[in-house]
A and B are shown apart, each in its own frame.
Chain A
Amino acid sequence: MRYVKLPQENFEEFFNSLKKWGKVYAPVKKGNIYSFQHVEKPSEIAFDYTRTMLPPKKFFVRPKDEMLRLKGGKWEESDGVEPIVLFGVHSCDIHGLEILDKVYLDEPVDPYYKKRRENSIIIGMSCMPDEYCFCKSLGTDFAMHGFDLFLHELPDGWLVRVGSVKGHEIAWENEELFEELTEEDMRNFREFEEKRANSFKKHLNKEGLEDMLDLAFNSPVWKKYEKICLGCGNCNMVCPTCRCYEVCDLWMNAYEAVRVRRYDSCFMESHGLVAGGHNFRPTRLDRFRHRYYCKSYFDPSAGFNCVGCGRCDEFCPAKIEHVKVLDEVREGLQ
């Protein structure tokens, strides 16, 4: 990997240079929440954001997404892919995107997702954890790949890691904005990372997690939380790795229809419903447990289906904490 330094005074010029690669989206504060929005200048960016409400998946698997358009009785592919630059993605979200890649780019490839991924540039940014973050325990607190550039905060600028060919191209074209790293920069970088590593308040015990959960299928903890959970599906919407979608056809006018897919949630009763009315997950208990099993599934090539971003905790109206639920299930077994 190539490491360079971007001094703070060059940041604006660097930011402006990104615009030629696509529309720049970055975290912006709106009221109490952060979200990825189109930005024109660096002053709009919330550099110290913890997490956005919707993860970057919203650019690739959109909340509501047109797949096909029916014209004259024939389906036509919907287009509308524009190049984008996602600025300020935290490492947990980069890991989240890699998990989505695993699903959507696996054969058969999802053409919509692929097109959007190919037309995007991911620029990572370092962060400080808050009380909800537990990415460190899942090993997703540092991204080694899945980005084009990664910016680490330094007192007088940014340490930039170049992670892809596209990233190299961006650095190449802006060669005059970058400097070589000094010993002091490296020291600052190490100090920042050390401070960061020590700031995590939440820790998920992932030792044998998947086996432990499998054994706890009938744990009373599920029953306890079934009563607390509102079944609203918020946790699914904000999760960077949840990707269930529902498909439906909508008529735009008498002659034109669109096939649309939209986010679906495994907390909805209709999720496991089949024709004829049989439901494979009829109770909230089944659905609550299913989400925890899905998130804690360990894929040897991609890791857990959870990246520890803490969104499900922060945006849960019933204040259910992911780590606490898993800890309680584990305790119940002992």
Chain B
Amino acid sequence: MTTGTIRKESGEGGGSAAPDPYTPSARRLERERFKRARARRATAVAALSTLVTGAVLFVVITGSPGWQRTRETFFSAEYARMALPDVLDGLLLNLKLLAICGVCVLLLGMLLAIARTLRGPVFFPVRALATAYTDFFRGLPLIICLLMVVFGVPALRLQGVTNDPVVLGGAALVLTYSAYVAEVFRAGIESVHPSQRAAARSLGLSGAQTLRYVVLPQAVRRVVPPLLNDLVSLQKDTGLVSIAGAVDAVYAAQIIAGKYFNYTPYVVAGLVFVALTIPMTRFTDWVTARMDRRRAQGGTV
């Protein structure tokens, strides 16, 4: 796609493309033939080597003395069927948490990053608070944060404060992850060259306008890959909310595993998560490629 765009552009720049009278030399044809032959050979060797590796792995694993038991314990079709509905049911909780917490994390993270990068002595308390917040929640182990929020907040017996473990657990996730994400955003903001800011101000933009129209768009674009990284991480950590009794996909698996002493449900849950992560990874790749394309386009203008 990239090359297509570029070719089109260069075509427009270079005027009409006349039929090319060029014919490759015999030497070049020979070279290309040789390269193709090497490529074919490389493919064949790779295929053979993969096949052999697969066969060896298969023989080693299935031939191992414990294979029969391992298969029954980890790959039992019967338990997989039994676990799947419960695991998918639990996955719904993971997805809900991911969607809601994801949005909150991005918003709060952005606010914190902006607060940390505000200039001017007036903003010192804001900067200090934001710094303290990120330092604290980035350092605090997530599981401890969860325990404190999920069991600590209801213990205060405050009027009107929920004691729903899912809501509280989600809040704990937002606390921790917004600290991570704030740092990512801050790195993005600080990576924008000061000349950009200076240029914007000299054009007459206010400080807020500079941030809104010049700094943030560039900053956000630069940190999309690490942001999505954090999102994938959040997706997997949503399961930790189960510490307060809510049943997510992994926990649903554990319940069945504990009852029947069989680990297959874990494998099912693991595969479900992998299946969920793969589209997200492809999405990340797509976003990155799209951004690169845009930047390249901007560069040629």
Task: State whether these chains interact.
Answer: no
